[in-house]
Structure 1
Amino acid sequence: MTWVGDGFKRPPNKHLCCSPLICPIAVQGMSGCRSHGANRSPPPCPFLHFLPAAGRASSRGIMAQRGPHPTLLLVLLATCLALASGETRYEKFLRQHVDYPRTAAPDTRTYCNQMMQRRGMTSPVCKFTNTFVHASAASITTICGPGGAPAGGNLRDSTASFALTTCRLQGGSQRPPCNYNGGTSTQRIRIACDGGLPVHYDRAI
């Protein structure tokens, strides 16, 4: 899965989503799901367990009548993708750390509060800190090869600098609602690689 801004492209022969019949709000418009066998359905979205039965039954009718609220759709989609079974370490890295081109926002505080929620990092607890790299997945992946240098174990340091936005939780509690401030910089980064793909963001250097 390749994240592009706030959207994504699914790679050939590999699909990740919840069933549109079970998760009608979050995955409306998604064209396929990871194969679960000829006679098996993809897993339901976990957050639906917290909806009243009437709400689950009527969600499709509501969608047909009024359409999804854009913000709600993004939040539920991020949650669905984060919790759906089958997310690889590489896909998690893309979801949590790649935002290219950078999503427009009036300031870094707004950017961080929106992006941390949209990418599924504010539930069930608020993540303390997270860095978004504003570069394509392909350019970041080169760090695992000729674009990086060994830094011990499976860590590698980039030879190039990247535009970054680092979001930091304000206050001492990780209980939602989450409130973030952010800062921007252009720095080299250290990541962990596995099988030639980035799987963990370590830090800026």
Structure 2
Amino acid sequence: ARKMNLIIISDEVYNFIRYKGEPQSMLSFAPERTVVVSSASKEYLMPGARIGYVLSTDEIFTNTWMPNMIRSFSSSPNTLGQNMLIKLLKEEVKDFKNGRSPQIITEIKKELKSRCDLIISILREKGFTLAGRDKDFPSGAISVLVRLPKDIEFDDKAIVEKALELEKFSAIPASVFGAPNCIRFGYAGMTKEAIKNLSKNLQDVLEFFRR
């Protein structure tokens, strides 16, 4: 980027939702030419709040580039979402002043990690295997990517469509992300009870394709 005089726009939406290791930002590698784009809606599990933010160390981006970009939009973040975020940020400031990590993020990660553990154990029990770079265990985020059981001859889209038709579960066929025969399960919005029920619902859908 330095050689070609390029601006790095880094999507770091899930950077703080990590279960192992510390978050790393492109700002630490090339701060003078990096713009970080992220989402408070995902960091604080506020679906529908539609609150995003941009970080940069260079005032050229914050004082010139950002105002021009904002003027190109016809709407702004909703009032409720902004008020929710302000309240959360005030709590974080208190934590930083007291010399500790933000308690809200810590609690969110702890809860997400427990849901992640649970859904992975259920998926493995039904013959699914983890896909992606972290095959032993996801390092973060709010979803898991799994491969279909080997004895299922139908593709991921057929599985997901049948699950919706039978009203068993909702998931995303990962072929749309370039991962054929894989399914992405999001667990951020699922209660632990719903995740436990997923075991039987998965079994019902898989048995349909094994007939």
* TM superposition score category, shorter chain reference: under 0.3
* Bigger proportion of residues as strand: 1
Question: TM-score, length-normalised on structure 1?
Answer: 0.28
- Choose between structure 1 and 2 for higher RCO, CA contacts under 8 A separated by at least 6 residues: 1
* Bigger proportion of residues as helix: 2
The structure with the largest alpha-carbon Rg is 2
Question: TM-score, length-normalised on structure 2?
Answer: 0.27
